[in-house]
Amino acid sequence: MPEAASTTDHAGIFLPFFYRLRNHGLKVTPQQWLTLIEGLARGLHGSSLMGFYSLARGIMVKDEAELDDFDLCFVAHFGGIDAEVAAIEKVVWDWLENPTVPFTIDPEWLKLMDSVDVAALRAELERRLAEQTERHDGGDHWVGTGGTSPFGHSGGHPGGIRVGGDHGAGTAVQVAAERRYQEHRKDRVLDTRQLSVALTKLRALERTGPADELDLEDTIDRTAREGGELELVFKPPRENRLGLLLAMDIGGSMWPFKELVDTLFSAAHQARHFKQFDHVYFHNCIYERVYGNAAFSEKIQLGELFRRYDRETRLVLVGDAYMYPGEITDRFGAVDWTERNERPGSDYLERVRDHFTHCAWLNPMAEDSWGAPSTRHIRRIFPMYPLTVHGVEQLARDLATNRGR
């Protein structure tokens, strides 16, 4: 039973059940029936027949005397459905055990991505959408699924525009789809200790506040100078005055690294030695704004970002730096269909770099995968470190001792 069914499905499958109950004498009202349909749409039945039974009985039976009649109607209407479900499951499992061989992309095709005209591609997509009148699967022209058309999803075309669907081979230069990213977790406990220790290297100790910490060496020296008469010397405590800002790439090709980034985020969030810790999100490349949440509904313009965080805040960008090169070098090159960057992405990245005196990039991909054009370009703007315990430790040392940018 689907988690949420369409109106047509409800009418064809469940509506006869409503009339069966009425014909059997149960006083089921249209309002009760609409409430049941809303519950189905919200998934309150738990995608199971027993869940639907409990939901329907709870909504439509208002008198204990009607329970037996309801059960008889339910059995009469849905009897034998378990066998049908089992048959469907077998078909699905047989299909999954014998999948279609994924479309193989010729390496020579991938080279075409470096020369894609994004503006012309967008215009062509709009033209084809205006002409297309029906669903299309396979083929090489219309917007659809599979095939080699540059528009759609689940196909194989280097340098096209993905319309909906899930991230696949990573060859789309833009994506026209609703953002459905997830916040990074801050409650991870396992495997965070080593990263937490590594992050302690990111500190700049200063003596601030009231002088309430005993200075033992100066106390001994002053007491000796006073001929043995005890002279207590106090000093302000040493505190780490640094702020840390994590800017995290989220979604798309970063999905395989989500657990690793969760671990880093948890370690940073649980650290107690930063004066300030905060985080923002972006996707692939930073343009005119970053975002305060993974839904990208909280927009933070770069000017506002610079007002919130001074130049001494340590900025650590986390991302795989793997994208269509035009996202960094081209005007209007952003992968998001709704993003209209008036300047190349590199201009915005350099603007971020020029504001923060100390900043660096953490890459979750293995270092032998850093040869992509986009990764090389970003490495010319930010020093890049691998997202490993050793990499985080080295980054922390460099940013703490001003060897980072």
In this predicted model, what pLDDT tens digit does every residue of 52-85 receive, in sequence order? 888 888 888 887 777 888 888 888 877 766 566 5
Q: Please, are residues 265 and 243 in contact by the beta-carbon 8 Å criterion?
A: no
Q: What is the rounded CA–CA span in Å between residue 251 and residue 259?
A: 12
Q: Where are the domains of the chain?
A: 7-97, 107-176, 193-204+241-400, 207-240
- The 10s digit of each residue's pLDDT in 1-33 is 444 444 444 455 678 888 888 888 888 888 888
- The 10s digit of each residue's pLDDT in 324-351 is 898 999 988 888 877 788 899 999 999 9
For 193-204+241-400, CATH gives 3.40.50
Q: What is the mean pLDDT of the chain?
A: 74
**pTM tops 0.85:** no
User: Per-residue pLDDT for 152 more than 60?
Assistant: no
Q: How many CB atoms lie within 10 A of CB 52?
A: 22
Q: Where are the beta strands (DSSP E) in 283-364?
A: 289-291, 299-301, 314-318, 359-363
pLDDT band of 381, cuts 50, 70, 90: very high
Q: Please, are residues 244 and 213 in contact by the beta-carbon 8 Å criterion?
A: no
Cβ within 8 Å of residue 261, ≥6 positions away: 184, 248, 254, 318, 364, 387
What pLDDT is recorded for position 209? 56
- The 10s digit of each residue's pLDDT in 153-195 is 555 555 555 554 555 555 554 454 445 555 554 443 335 556 6
Q: Please, are residues 150 and 161 in contact by the beta-carbon 8 Å criterion?
A: yes
Question: What angle (nearest 5°) sits at the alpha carbon of residue 162, between those of residues 160 and 168?
Answer: 100
Q: Please, are residues 278 and 347 in contact by the beta-carbon 8 Å criterion?
A: no
Q: Which carries the bigger pLDDT value, residue 350 or residue 294?
A: 350
φ/ψ of residue 382, rounded to 5: -125, 145
pLDDT band of 259, cuts 50, 70, 90: confident
